[in-house]
Each structure stands twice: as C-alpha cells, then as structure tokens.
C-alpha cells in the first residue's frame, strides 16, 4: 500500500533538505576558498556524497547555489567543477570590488554614526590583536585572522544603508579571497598589511572620504598585484 505523504510531512522533509544543503554549501565553499578543492577540479557527485556525508538532493542544491555565485561552473551534460582561477577574472573582481566599495564607503562615511565608529575601532582591535599573536608573514593564513579581516572591511561599509550593496561586496570579497589563499605565504612577506589597515581606519574615522577611498583602492590593488606576480594563473 502506497503511503500518502501529508503536507506537513512534505514541508518538514523540504526544510530538512534545505538545512542539509546549507551545511554542505558552507563546507564546499570553505574548501574552495581555502584551496582544498583546487580550481578546475571535477566535482563528482558520488565522491562528494561520501566525502561530505550528505544526500544527492542537498548536494545538488548546494552545487547550484555555488554555481550561481561563481564558485562552481556547471557544464552542460558534464556536471560541475570548481571555477578556474584566471588572471583576467581576478583583475575584473578587483576592479568591480573597488568600484562598489567606493560607493559603500563614501555612503558610510556620510551617514555613519558614533556606534558605527565604535564598531570600526573594535573590529580593528581584534584584527590587530590576532596579527600580533603570530609572525607577520603567516598571520593572514590563520582562519581567525581571515574572520577578523573580513569583519573589519565589512564594518567599514556597514553604514551605507544598502544591504544589497553590502551583500554584493561580501560575495566579491570571498571570490578574491580564494586567489589570495592560492598563493604561498612567502609572497606576502614584505607587506605590512596592518599598517595599511591602520591608515585606512584613521582616514575613515576622520571622515576623509577621498583619502579613505584612495587607501582602500590601493590596498586591494596591491593584493591583486602580489597574487598576479606569483605567476600561478593563466
């Protein structure tokens, strides 16, 4: 006898699949961002189901979401693979990130209140504290440092009054992070990132929008140049 699935049961099943998909999505994205899943790697469903301890439906949903945000490429009749890492894409990502974050930063400087300033100071404090706890040339390899780094940059633009813009900027930040993580630590040894962050923080707190934008653009451009100078990308 065929069991009739009630509407509440169907909704519960869909919710469970969605939750599992979100978990798999986060894990896959982390592995792509850290370089554990290399650019161009074929993503075979059977292998991923076993490796990530999930089912077919949650996995496909996660891969479709990753495809939508550029982390994964969906090939017609050939499945999925990790998006390739290319010089042209990094240059485009950097330009676009600079354009969008200039708008967000100028708006935040114009409209941010004292509470926003306090969040910036606190975000910088935690970033600086994490950096000081490690050698200069390996600090950025720490997952804790990356979390604080992302929080600092997101806080700078958090008063722009546009959640959509903030979301776009966050996605671009993740896609550029992948390139940074694909480059050896030694490539960053002569850079003083915390000083760049300190100067940027001060310009923002001084409400000097032109200087803040100049420093932010230079900060992202230098990162891109270091990554490209490694010669690792086509």
The CA radius of gyration of the chain, in Å to the nearest whole number, is 20
Q: What is the pLDDT of residue 143?
A: 81
Q: What is the pLDDT of residue 166?
A: 98
Q: What is the pLDDT of residue 98?
A: 98
Is the pLDDT at 185 greater than 80? The verdict is no
Is the pLDDT at 3 greater than 70? The verdict is no
Strands, E assignment, 76-224? 79-82
Is the pLDDT at 28 greater than 80? The verdict is yes
Would you give the distance in Å from CA 107 to the centre of its chain? 22
pTM strictly above 0.75 = yes
Is the pLDDT at 18 greater than 90? The verdict is no
Q: What is the pLDDT of residue 132?
A: 77
Q: What is the pLDDT of residue 141?
A: 59
Neighbours of 39 (CB within 10 A): 18
Q: What is the pLDDT of residue 186?
A: 55
> Which three-class secondary structure state does DSSP give residue 81?
strand
CA distance 45 to 32: 16
Mean per-residue pLDDT, 189-213: 93
Q: 60 near 67, Cβ under 8 Å?
A: no
Q: What is the pLDDT of residue 13?
A: 45
Is the pLDDT at 2 greater than 90? The verdict is no
- The domains found in the chain, sorted by start residue, are 7-82 (1.10.10.10), 87-229 (1.20.120.530)
Quick: pLDDT tens for 126-162: 999 988 776 554 545 578 888 999 999 999 999 999 9
Lowest mean pLDDT among 39-48, 84-93, 124-133, 152-161: 124-133
């Amino acid at each position: 006898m065929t069991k009739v699935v009630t509407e509440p049961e169907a909704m519960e099943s869909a919710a469970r699949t969605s939750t599992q998909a979100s978990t798999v999505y986060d894990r896959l994205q982390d592995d792509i961002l850290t370089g554990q899943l290399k650019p161009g790697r074929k993503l075979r469903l059977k292998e991923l189901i076993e490796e990530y301890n999930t089912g077919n439906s949650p996995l496909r949903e996660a891969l479709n979401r990753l495809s939508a945000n550029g982390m994964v490429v969906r090939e017609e009749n050939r499945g999925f693979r990790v998006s390739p890492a290319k010089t042209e894409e990094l240059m485009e990502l950097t330009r676009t990130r600079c354009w969008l974050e200039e708008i967000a930063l100028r708006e935040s400087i114009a409209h941010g209140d004292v509470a926003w300033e306090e969040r910036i100071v606190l975000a910088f404090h935690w970033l600086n504290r994490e950096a000081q706890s490690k050698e200069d040339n390996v600090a950025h390899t720490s997952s804790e440092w990356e979390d604080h780094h992302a929080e600092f940059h997101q806080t700078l633009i958090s008063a722009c009054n546009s959640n959509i813009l903030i979301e776009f900027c966050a996605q671009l930040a993740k896609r550029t992070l992948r390139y940074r993580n694909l480059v050896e630590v030694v490539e960053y040894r002569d850079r003083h990132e915390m000083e760049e962050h300190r100067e940027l923080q001060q310009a923002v707190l001084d409400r000097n929008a032109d200087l803040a934008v100049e420093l932010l653009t230079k900060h992202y451009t230098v990162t891109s140049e270091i990554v490209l100078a490694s010669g690792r990308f086509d």
